[in-house]
Chains A and B, each alone.
Chain A
Amino acid sequence: MSPVLGEYLYLVAVVLFIVGLKRMSSPKTARSGNQMAAVGMLIAVVVTLLDQRIVGYTTIVAGLVVGAAVGAVLARRVEMTAMPQLVALFNGLGGGASALVALIEVHAGAADVRTGVTAAASILIGTVTLTGSLVAFAKLQELVSGAPITYPGQKVGDSLLAVGMVAASVMMIASGGVPAWAWAATAFAAVLGITRVLPIGGADMPVVISFLNSLSGLAAAAAGFVIDSNALIVSGALVGAAGLILTMIMVEAMNRTLGNVLFGAFGGAQEGAYGVDSGRTARRATPEDVAISLAYARSVVVVPGYGLAVAQAQHALKELENELTKRGVEVRYAIHPVAGRMPGHMNVLLAEADVDYDKLFDLEEINRDFPHTDVALVVGANDVVNPLARDDPASPIAGMPILDVDKAKTVVVIKRSLSPGFAGIDNPLFYLDNTLMLFDDARKGLTQIVDAMKDV
């Protein structure tokens, strides 16, 4: 194939990516959009395989077979609750591949300044993405603690790593691409990726994953500068933009700044809970009490949180929806942007349980309706329904947008105990006069309510 024809076909691939992403804007067209993007990728791969510069196919075929097998098995087997760690892993591998492409280019021989600079960018961004994502994976998979891991001298240590990373890169560029310097830069970046993500708490993972997603795109774009490929530059820029948009949405949903998330070590580490008042008592309810108040309601809004996902309770929740719908009760779902462990995670979990996506509402859409709602059912959520965020400017979560469940006529909270959420803050919602607490695991609690409802 002539190189010019190849370039045109790469353009076709990139157009398919853009149109595919555009079709992601509606659930009706999203699946075909993803398939279009996959076809674009197939075109790009075939064009590359026909490139006349390629001298041997052994390594290529071996890599493709191993990679496709591993990717397909992971994609088929993963539980929907484990989606954040899988995406983190894929992000990391994409970043790692971009770093490797640049390293190979450096190994291939004398690099001019342009190649040196772009290779350094690709190596640094790609390597940080790889190791940072692996730490995020380990945290989400609970191989290491989800709590922020901090140690003395962290800021100084990270600064030294960053300086070393840049210095090694400069030496690599100045020396015309001596591989040893490239590997030194890789090593510094690898350690920095690890030490930067370890101090970030589990509740901040939606931001971290989005940000790493953005970085994996930028790493691909940087690799595109190295090997002079417009396809890589355009696709990398698209993904970089997508990740950045999601990052900002997540950061705003927590009323934080990106810097604060990446450098703040927020959550779980505070000594004692903020605003704990041991003098108050919560109203304890039985599954029967809850079944009665739900069965005689006209409108119910369910607020699912991460506790629902942990307990794999999405199917039990759907059963409750069916039972209530049979009785003519209107059931809707209120989804906080950070309800899961990655953007939109809760929506996927509910889709898996066959919940109609028309019944899922965003924060702004549903908050108007809480004053007219008979029962707000909070399942495994805490910080995202904490009225302190709205009412107490001194609270650590002040200003975080919350779901105003306390404005509903009755609030039912299913939760294992009164313990504070990730932010380590007590929740006055639990002590309100119109709040009923059902102390149980999300799945057991919901199943018992469904059983009790059959007798109502």
Chain B
Amino acid sequence: MEDLLVPITVFVLASFAGFEVISKVPPTLHTPLMSGSNAISGITIIGALLAAGVAEGPASQILGFLAVVFATVNVVGGFLVTDRMLGMFRQRDGQR
């Protein structure tokens, strides 16, 4: 399993980067953080697109289609709804 060494290193370092970046998010933004990071987890769309693009035979094509649909709903819906929410966070000017 030596060939897993590099990807596992990447995974561990990225996890630490994630903890660092996200632990500074204030509670006010926890819901948009969750829906936004959820949209980012839709990155699996890359795998779905490749799988659908190389699929041969009906079974693989159906699975590929479903994978693309699921991931696209996740990505498009996730980013749009996060944008909609963040558009509501306002601060009155000059009232501090």
Contacts and interface: CB of A to CB of B under 8 A. Distances in A.
Interface string B22-34: 1111111111111
A291 interface: no
B40 A70 contact: no
Interface residues of B, number: 83
Nearest to B30: A344
A76 B81 CA distance: 7
Contacts of A227: 46-47, 50
Contact of B19 (A33, A93, A232, A245): A245
Contacts of B45: 41, 44-45, 48, 97
Interface residues of A, number: 114
Contacts of B26: 25-26
A343 B70 contact: no
A209 B31 CA distance: 11
A13 B46 CA distance: 12
B83 to A, nearest CB: 6
B25 A348 contact: no
Could you tell me the dominant secondary structure of chain A's interface residues?
A: helix
Contacts of A64: 68, 72
Contacts of B60: 104, 107-108
Most chain B Cβ neighbours within 10 Å, of A62, A100, A358: A100
A8 interface: no
A72 B77 contact: yes
Interface stretch (A83-91, A146-154, A195-203, A440-448): A83-91
A51 B88 CA distance: 38
Contacts of B66: 63, 96, 100
B11 A213 contact: no
Nearest to B84: A75
A343 B48 contact: no
Interface string B63-94: 11111111111111111111111111111100
Nearest to B6: A230
A104 to B, nearest CB: 4
Interface in A220-250: 220-221, 223-243, 245-246, 249
Interface in B36-63: 36-55, 59-61, 63
Contacts of A225: 4, 7, 11
Interface string A349-366: 001101011101010000
Contacts of A354: 88, 90
B24 to A, nearest CB: 4
Contacts of A430: none
Given A220-B41, A239-B40, A241-B19, A60 B33 contact: no
A68 B73 CA distance: 6
A21 to B, nearest CB: 5
A241 B18 contact: yes
Contacts of A351: 85, 88-90
Contacts of B38: 87, 90-91, 94, 213, 216, 239
A80 interface: yes
B21 A78 contact: no
A76 B78 CA distance: 11
A103 B60 CA distance: 9
22 contacts: A30-B86, A30-B89, A37-B36, A37-B39, A37-B40, A44-B43, A44-B45, A54-B54, A59-B65, A59-B68, A68-B72, A71-B76, A71-B77, A72-B80, A75-B76, A97-B67, A98-B44, A239-B40, A245-B23, A249-B30, A337-B27, A348-B31
Interface of A: 10, 13, 17-18, 20-22, 24-28, 30-31, 33-35, 37-38, 41, 44-45, 48-49, 51, 53-57, 59-60, 62-64, 66-68, 70-72, 74-76, 78, 80, 83, 86-87, 90-91, 93-94, 96-98, 100-101, 103-105, 107-108, 113-114, 209-210, 213, 216-217, 219-221, 223-243, 245-246, 249, 335, 337, 340, 342-345, 347-348, 351-352, 354, 356-358, 360, 362
CB-based closest 4 A-B pairs: A67-B72, A63-B68, A241-B18, A344-B30
Given A241-B15, A249-B27, 7 more contacts: A93-B70, A94-B70, A100-B63, A100-B67, A113-B1, A213-B38, A362-B27
